Amino acid sequence: MKTYKMVLCYDGSRYNGWQKQGNTDNTLQEKLEKILTEIAGVETEIAGSGRTDAGTHAKGQVASFRMDWKRTAAELLTEINGRLPEDVGALSLEEAEPRFHARLNAKAKRYVYTIWTGEMPPVFWRKYSFWCKDELDVEAMKEAASAFVGTHDFKSFCANKRMKKSTVRTIYDINIEQKEQRLVLSFTGNGFLYQMVRILTGTLIEVGEGKRSPMEMEEILAAENREAAGFTAPSRGLMLDEVFYEPYGKGTEMP
Amino acid sequence: MKTYKMVLCYDGSRYNGWQKQGNTDNTLQEKLEKILTEIAGVETEIAGSGRTDAGTHAKGQVASFRMDWKRTAAELLTEINGRLPEDVGALSLEEAEPRFHARLNAKAKRYVYTIWTGEMPPVFWRKYSFWCKDELDVEAMKEAASAFVGTHDFKSFCANKRMKKSTVRTIYDINIEQKEQRLVLSFTGNGFLYQMVRILTGTLIEVGEGKRSPMEMEEILAAENREAAGFTAPSRGLMLDEVFYEPYGKGTEMP
């Protein structure tokens, strides 16, 4: 039995998110387990580095699985890509340490949120961005974002109100950059709570629109209450960009 | 009655091309005429600068129509965008000379063809590129492309075998550029025959794959026979990028 680490990209538009669930169909995890089970001939499970919501995309989701495979990892990669639908691609596959687990061993993740700021409709970006028609004060958004960098209790930014585990997370960096008609927000942190990136983005958009002041961010964090934060930006603008398995700042692949 | 010039972009994936046809549904022209007729309250026709094939996209299609509209062009633009589906957008609208006609007055057009050259599947580019898995000799493609620049009889590159009008066209420029995992071919000319850009691209891909020599291009042109040229590259990789209404090289918007 070998353990594999696989990097995946997918257009999440037509999926009910990553995670297999009792009552919903058409999840990415399900789709992949079906393919791996076909290849292996025995029931095979896959673990993602984390869930992505319905409609959310990935350029670098990482998943781990175990398989009794006699040929090379490159051949297994070809085998998997040959069975994947065209909106999912396996980018790389390698044999990992026997105990490697995509979620448990992840040290950091980067998510990218794309806001369409063009005046005209985002015809080619309609599934990959959230169209914000109001003009945004990007400098105010940057100032507000700086309040989130560091180690904080992000309970106000967690959509799961019954979360019993710790809601403390560390954000290493938030980068906000205008690229043509898109305002691109990159969040790098040691982990993110349920819908945390989307709520952070929604709150920053409200700052950009002048509905909130950058000064309020400290209060929102202190409130430890979801009601204190802004709206949840739509899932289609969100992309899981990269998952890191080295401590932040230690590896060569760090941002 | 005023005459308007409108610039449109669209994702052609789910349309049967631009041109209204007796027996097919769901064309862009039909869609737009329906919207303009609703707004005007009387049957309104629209003329595109040219057809785009089923599955082909546009970033700058130009269309003209006449309407008895009392408010500003900006208000009409908003009215139109409010009724368009999310895969079509009107980028600009202005009142034009009374006799302006998007096709008859067009002086030049630029089409862009995107070839995906990545090793891994083009998940986010699957509808906007043609995946070429073989390695391409880009220098040979550039050399071959230079044979097409200038005024030639492009009968060998015309999919309409019963074409009775002249098949002589002028190509001003063919630019081939690698952008990350995409090889982007831009064709600027005074006009293009039916599927001409797709057949030129298919022929250039065969050169890139080493199946044809750049030296053969002169012979293909001289043959004046569709059978002499290469395959027709798929419509999804093609984008109508821009339409020019000034003689090539004279305007400020020239490439």
The model's pLDDT over B163-177, given as tens digits with 9 standing for 90+, comes to 889 999 999 999 999
Six token digits for residue B111 = 């089409």
Last residue of a domain, one of A41, A65, A96: A96
Residues A36, A38, A39: CA angle, nearest 5 degrees: 65
Do A176 and A81 belong to one domain?
A: no
Distance from the Cα of residue A157 to its chain's centroid: 15
Do A125 and A231 belong to one domain?
A: yes
pLDDT for res A254: 47
For residue A10, the chain B residues in CB contact (below 8 A) are 123
To the nearest whole Å, the CA of A49 is away from the closest chain B CA by 20
pLDDT for res B181: 94
**Span between the terminal Cα atoms of chain B, in Å:** 33
Do B143 and B184 belong to one domain?
A: yes
Do A114 and A240 belong to one domain?
A: yes
Looking at every residue in chain B, the average pLDDT score rounds to 94
- Assess if residue B249 is contained within a domain: no
Domain count, chain B: 2
Six token digits for residue B153 = 């009889």
Distance CA B164, CA B160 (A): 9
Averaged pLDDT, A203-225: 97
For residue A141, give its domain range.
Answer: 108-244
- Contact check, Cβ <8 Å, B91/A120: yes
Residue A8 φ/ψ, nearest 5 degrees = -125, 150
Do B55 and B129 belong to one domain?
A: no
Inform me whether the pLDDT recorded for A214 exceeds 90: yes
Inform me whether the pLDDT recorded for B253 exceeds 60: no
Do A187 and A78 belong to one domain?
A: no
pLDDT for res A77: 97
For residue A28, the chain B residues in CB contact (below 8 A) are none
A24 — pLDDT class (breaks 50, 70, 90): low
Do B41 and B121 belong to one domain?
A: no
Query: Letter for the amino acid at B83?
Result: R
Six token digits for residue B76 = 């009409």
Q: Does A85 touch chain B (CB under 8 A)?
A: no
Inform me whether the pLDDT recorded for B248 exceeds 80: no
Among candidates B87, B120, B122 on the partner chain, residue whose Cβ is nearest the Cβ of A126? B87
Averaged pLDDT, A197-203: 98
Averaged pLDDT, B132-160: 96
Q: What percent of chain A has pLDDT over 70?
A: 96
Inform me whether the pLDDT recorded for B90 exceeds 60: yes
DSSP chain A: -EEEEEEEEE-GGGSS-SS--SS----HHHHHHHHHHHHHSS---EEESS---TT-EEEEEEEEEEE---S-HHHHHHHHHHHS-TTEEEEEEEEE-TT--TTTT--EEEEEEEEE--SS--GGGTTT-EE--S---HHHHHHHHHTTSEEEE-GGG-S-TT--S--EEEEEEEEEEEETTEEEEEEEES---TTHHHHHHHHHHHHHTTSS-TTHHHHHHHHT-GGGS-----GGGEEEEEEE-S-TTTSSS--
**Any idea what the CATH number is for the domain that residue B198 is in?**
3.30.70.660
Contact pairs from chain A to chain B, CB under 8 Å: 46
Inform me whether the pLDDT recorded for B251 exceeds 90: no
Inform me whether the pLDDT recorded for A191 exceeds 70: yes
Do B79 and B36 belong to one domain?
A: yes
Q: What residues are paired with A138 via a beta bridge? A: none
Last residue of a domain, one of A54, A70, A96: A96
Distance CA A111, CA A131 (A): 18
B161 — pLDDT class (breaks 50, 70, 90): confident
Averaged pLDDT, B214-218: 97
Distance CA B114, CA B182 (A): 6
Do A77 and A129 belong to one domain?
A: no
Inform me whether the pLDDT recorded for A215 exceeds 80: yes
pLDDT for res A255: 47
pLDDT tens sequence across A90-129: 999 999 999 999 999 999 999 999 999 998 899 999 999 9
Cβ neighbours around B61 below 10 Å, total: 29
Q: Does A181 touch chain B (CB under 8 A)?
A: no
pLDDT for res A23: 65
- Assess if residue B254 is contained within a domain: no
Nearest alpha carbon to residue A122 among A236, A248, A247, A239: A236
Averaged pLDDT, B120-125: 93
B246 — pLDDT class (breaks 50, 70, 90): confident
pLDDT tens sequence across B68-86: 999 999 999 999 999 999 9
Q: Which helix (H) or strand (E) holds B3?
A: strand B2-10
pLDDT for res B23: 65
Q: Is B111 annotated as contributing to ligand binding?
A: yes
Do B112 and B67 belong to one domain?
A: no
Last residue of a domain, one of A96, A119, A149: A96
Six token digits for residue B215 = 């030296």
- Contact check, Cβ <8 Å, B123/A81: no
Averaged pLDDT, B43-51: 95
Six token digits for residue B237 = 């990789």
**Any idea what the CATH number is for the domain that residue B26 is in?**
3.30.70.580
ipTM for the whole complex: 0.86
Q: What is the 3-state secondary structure (H, E, C) of B124-150?
A: CCCCCCEECCCCCCHHHHHHHHHCCCE
Distance CA A79, CA A97 (A): 22
B250 — pLDDT class (breaks 50, 70, 90): low
- Contact check, Cβ <8 Å, A88/B123: yes
- Assess if residue B103 is contained within a domain: no
Instruction: Name the residue with higher pLDDT: B250 or B45.
Output: B45
B159 — pLDDT class (breaks 50, 70, 90): very high
pLDDT for res A228: 97
B249 — pLDDT class (breaks 50, 70, 90): low
Nearest CA in chain B to A124: B11
Nearest alpha carbon to residue A53 among A175, A163, A159, A191: A159
